[in-house]
Amino acid sequence: MSRNTPPRPSGKSGKSGAKPGKSGTKPGQVARPRWGAKPARPAATDRDGYTAQTAPLAPGETAAPSGAAGSGGRSGGGAGADGRPGSGGRSGGGAGAGKGSGAGAGAASGSGAGGRAKKAAGAGDGAAAGSGAGAGAGAGAGRGRGGQQARAGRKQGVRPPKAVRTAQPVLRVPAGDPLVGERYEVEVGPVAHGGGHCVARHEGRVLFVRHTLPGERVIVEVTEGTTKSRFLRADAVEVLTPSKDRIAAPCPFSGPGKCGGCDWQHVTPGGQRKLKGQVLTEQLAKLAGLTPAEAGWDGSVEPVGGKLPAGEVPRWRSRVQYAVDPESGELGLRKHRSHEIQSVDQCLIASAGVAELGLETQDWTGLSSVEVIASSGSSDRQLILTPVPGEQLPLVELDKPVAIARIDEQDNFHQVHGRTFVRERAAGRTWRVSNGGFWQIHPEAPDTLVDAVLAGLDPQWGENALDLYCGVGLFAGALADRVGEDGAVLGIESNKQAVVDARHNLAALENVRIECDKVETLLPRTGITSTDLVVLDPPRAGAGRETVSHLAGLSARRIAYVACDPAALARDLGFFKEHGYRPVSLRAFDLFPMTHHFECVAILEPVKG
């Protein structure tokens, strides 16, 4: 999920390891060679190359790996408007998805299993998706295999360039008589990966059912499918036998036929984490051949943030993308797998910084979407407006100071008022994150993940480290502090604006270098034959077999894999296992409450002997 990004920096990029006049070694320490000079940049290539859509995947089904992970964005979680988890970004879910990959109920702006069928302003089968395995979900859906990820955003934000289609999409509509509206009584089975669905069966046919829980007996209403479909999608419209984890949804806009942003408003917080743990357990067994114990995981999904009073909803979402009703000019959120807009007077999971702007009271006629970003580390707020083609921007009157940007028909940013970035605070630093750049949506996510990575890697003075898919430099900065001036950190990121931000954020560190390219393209060209530590935080599609193979050949003593999709993580852990690496620790964090998304940090070591 093309923008107005600065040209690729030339000349010096980053700094060398040791300060001038220093040898780079301590007394008694054996001198070690520095990593070589900056490699030549490969010629720019077309990143998109979309092909026709193939048959859709079912929730929980995994596409065969398609080689290197798709480039582009990752996804966010929570209440996005056009199938993006919160307007572009990495991990996450809810009314929006992002990084494509894998099977499962995908969200319009990128979740799903690769491929791009039709570009929609929000949702619809075949909206922009990524390559590889995994899934996202939310309001709207994007499904399909093959191709690289487009309008996705890395765990929340980067929109790749608009694709030049290489073939007309082929939408496959199952034959048979429609079953939409049919009602069945079913016993609900286990939770499925992606989309907050559970599995049920009726007369031998599989149903993927939302708004229910394992073990319940419910009346479902079919929302998609025909008599010839491989599976049906449905909503639980009446609960006959409720689960002990069921509660009344606190949000009035949650439920069958309403907002698609949250998957599990009807589930207790503990029940939500239990479901996420079941999904991770299943994916580890299915794709990596690992039990929780073999993966170094205690089976829990850790809550993040303090305990809330009964009935209160965590306001964790610092970015929200609203859709605009073309008739009324009111803001709303997309319904699940639909272009329809659910009008809302507030989003219960939006952060206080988002909620206090009162955007729902404005008239947004002339726009198709309004994205709001409220920094968790400063008072910075940014509105990103997408006008309807041919329409003028409306007058924005708010009581709070806010910067404003608009997006043109080619997805380029144009700043209308204020700064082009927000300032965030994490890991002891202030970070500049430009429009469309990636930053975790949950206010406590950056520090939570940095702490988990550092605890698992235990970086030592003088070590060398790689930070792959480094974004604006969060992990690179933390590693640089630990390895010191005798060590070195190389970060690789494909988004040009994120690289500009990372170089700005880490300019004071002489032992960090940031390179702009795809990981799978640049890593083999660096000339690096070994390293001590690796952090990788790939898009939802995961790293892929080729990148894993190359990393295993570097003989790192430890690797930290940060993942927003359990299927992609499990698949890549299987690849690492083939190359002699095993997980010694795995932690899962509930960074996207009310949605099916969560984040993992796996620590891998080479198998001894």
Angle separating helix axes 566-578 and 269-283, nearest 10 degrees: 30
State the Cα–Cα distance between residues 558 and 575, nearest whole angstrom: 16
**CA 475/CA 483 separation, integer angstroms:** 12
Contact 250, 218 (CB under 8 A): no
Looking up tokens 């006008």, which residue turns up? 387
Within 10 angstroms of residue 311's Cβ, the number of other Cβ atoms is 8
Enzyme catalytic residues: 564
Of the candidates 602, 597, 601, which has an alpha carbon nearest to the alpha carbon of residue 156?
A: 597
Cα–Cα distance measured from residue 233 to residue 231, given in angstroms and rounded to the nearest whole number? 7
Q: How far apart are CA 412 and CA 228, in angstroms?
A: 42
In this structure, what DSSP letter does residue 317 have? Answer: B
Structure tokens at 90: 């990495």
- Centroid of chain to Cα 302: 19
Helix (H), strand (E), coil (C) string for 513-553: EEEECCHHHHHHHCCCCCCCEEEECCCCCCCCHHHHHHHHC
Work out the angle at residue 450's Cα, subtended by the Cα atoms of residues 447 and 451, and round it to the nearest 5 degrees: 85
Question: CA 157: distance to chain centroid?
Answer: 9
**What does the alpha-carbon distance between residue 402 and residue 382 come to, in Å, rounded to a whole number?**
6
Spatial contact of 393 and 406, defined as CB atoms under 8 Å apart: yes
Q: Cβ distance 495 to 504 under 8 Å?
A: no
- Inter-residue contact 216 to 242 (CB < 8 Å): yes
Distances from the Cα of 336 to the Cαs of 79, 221, 275, 565, in angstroms?
11, 14, 20, 20
- What's the order of all strands across the beta sheet hosting 319-324? 341-343, 331-334, 319-324, 367-374, 381-387, 403-407, 413-417
The SS3 call for residue 600 is strand
> What residue spans of 286-444 are helical by DSSP H?
352-355
List for the chain the helix, strand, coil content (%; round to 5).
15, 25, 60
> Is 493 strand, coil or helix?
strand
Cα 578 to Cα 158: distance, rounded to the nearest angstrom: 32
